[in-house]
A = this chain, B = another copy of it.
């Protein structure tokens, strides 16, 4: 495996299983309104976004870099950014596009979504990268940043030259799927009974 993808643990049998079940996932898909047509449109969106993952992820990260309290996730409490950590997260962020659009949403997928969530919290932040950074990303920023992710995906779909209606279908599917994924990432933040 490419060293820049170290820490990418999809399918790693040593990952703790997600407490979220396949049945929970089916209910969550209903809650965001993801149907079979959306899942097909998500795949088509992935075929546009995946080859451009570098620029797509850069567009998200430019938004992070512009906001000090978001950029702080990559820095020590003293504000020193861990550049190696940032690069590694960037490569994994690219892979998230593929995982979201192309992988089967099965137990290994759920397990890795849970791991990604835990890596935003005291439970596992910095561990996979031995990073010198703060130990926690506030839940509110995790959720809120989904708006930026979704907003900034749109131009790439438009630039693909797809018809307006198809751009809408792909973006609609993307927005639902991305929020579902981020919702799974919130699982480690809260008590079992609250989630």
User: Which residues of A are at the interface with B, using a C-beta cutoff of 8 A?
Assistant: 27-28, 30-33, 63, 67, 69-70, 121, 136, 138-141, 143-148, 150-151, 164, 172, 175-176, 179-180, 182-184, 186-187, 189-190, 193-195
Contact = CB atoms under 8 A, between A and B. Distances in A.
Contacts of A140: 28, 31, 183-184, 186-187, 195
A28 to B, nearest CB: 6
Nearest to A141: B31
Given A28-B144, A141-B31, A176 B151 contact: yes
Kindly name the residue among A63, A140, A183, A194 whose own CB sees the greatest number of chain B CB atoms within 10 A. Answer: A140
A190 B189 CA distance: 7
Contacts of A148: 31-33
A32 B95 CA distance: 23
A174 to B, nearest CB: 10
A148 B143 CA distance: 16
Contact of A147 (B143, B175, B187, B189): B175
A139 B30 contact: no
A81 B104 CA distance: 36
A172 B194 contact: no
A121 B180 CA distance: 21
B194 A139 contact: yes
Top-3 shortest CB links A-B: A31-B144, A32-B147, A147-B176
Nearest to A137: B194
Contacts of A193: 136
A151 to B, nearest CB: 6
Given A139-B195, A190-B139, A195-B139, A179 B144 contact: yes
